[in-house]
Amino acid sequence: MRRKDREMSREFGLEIIDKSSYGVLSMADEGNQPYGIPLSIVRSGNTLYFHCAMEGRKVDLLQKNPKVSVTFVGETQVPEIYTNEELDEIVQDEAKAAMLISKVFTTNYESAIVTGTAKVVEDEEKKIKALKLVCEKYTPTKMAYFPMAIKASLKRTKVYSIEIEELTAKAKRKK
């Protein structure tokens, strides 16, 4: 990581994964062209899980090359620390240009990137457990209906796991 001052701990990265609304799964297609897709992803321990249809471009690509990267973005914010009047005053002094760039034309953010290998979850019990984790994250108030949903969809739903092989996390915050 180039900006070591923004590097965060593994624990921080896991928190970003857990609180992110989605992760962007990145793969390479047959022509080694990038292909990324946002997914509802959940983590259990050192494993990520997501579900999809039984066939499609993602399934085809993962079958040919299961090496993946998943990006998660936590909170982002463009800082609003100066009034327009203050900014009008700042631009009068060229010596303050660097400060203008670093404090006005910037974004505070937090992110995590996982690399790993996607594998189809074949065991039915593990597949149900993974889908339950996904539903607990995204639809926690509807879990009473989970058994019927699983019964209706299990045979037509593919579930993948990704063991976290590498996790990097980064943040830029207000100073």
- Does residue 129 belong to any structural domain of this protein? yes
Q: pLDDT digit string (tens) for 77-119?
A: 888 888 888 888 888 888 877 778 778 877 788 999 999 999 9
What is the model's pLDDT at position 5? 60
Q: Is pLDDT of 174 > 70?
A: no
Nearest to 157 by CA among 136, 130, 139, 117: 130
- Does residue 65 belong to any structural domain of this protein? yes
Dihedral pair phi/psi, residue 45, rounded to 5°: 60, -120
CATH number at residue 111: 2.30.110.10
Distance of alpha carbon 58 from the chain centroid = 17
- Does residue 71 belong to any structural domain of this protein? yes
Q: What is the H or E stretch that residue 112 is in?
A: strand 109-120
Q: pLDDT digit string (tens) for 16-31?
A: 999 999 999 999 988 8
What is the model's pLDDT at position 48? 98
What is the model's pLDDT at position 81? 84
Q: Is pLDDT of 175 > 90?
A: no
Q: Is pLDDT of 10 > 80?
A: yes
- Does residue 91 belong to any structural domain of this protein? no
Q: Is 35 left (phi over 0), alpha (psi -120 to 50) or beta?
A: beta
Q: Is pLDDT of 2 > 70?
A: no
Dihedral pair phi/psi, residue 68, rounded to 5°: -135, 165
Query: Domain tally for the chain?
Result: 1
Domain interval for residue 63:
4-78+107-172
- Does residue 12 belong to any structural domain of this protein? yes
Q: Is pLDDT of 173 > 80?
A: no
Q: pLDDT digit string (tens) for 114-163?
A: 999 999 999 999 999 999 999 999 999 999 999 999 999 999 999 999 99
Average pLDDT over residues 65-82: 90
What is the model's pLDDT at position 49? 98
- Does residue 102 belong to any structural domain of this protein? no
- Does residue 140 belong to any structural domain of this protein? yes
Average pLDDT over residues 57-75: 95
Structural contact between residues 4 and 158, judged by C-beta atoms closer than 8 angstroms: no
- Does residue 92 belong to any structural domain of this protein? no
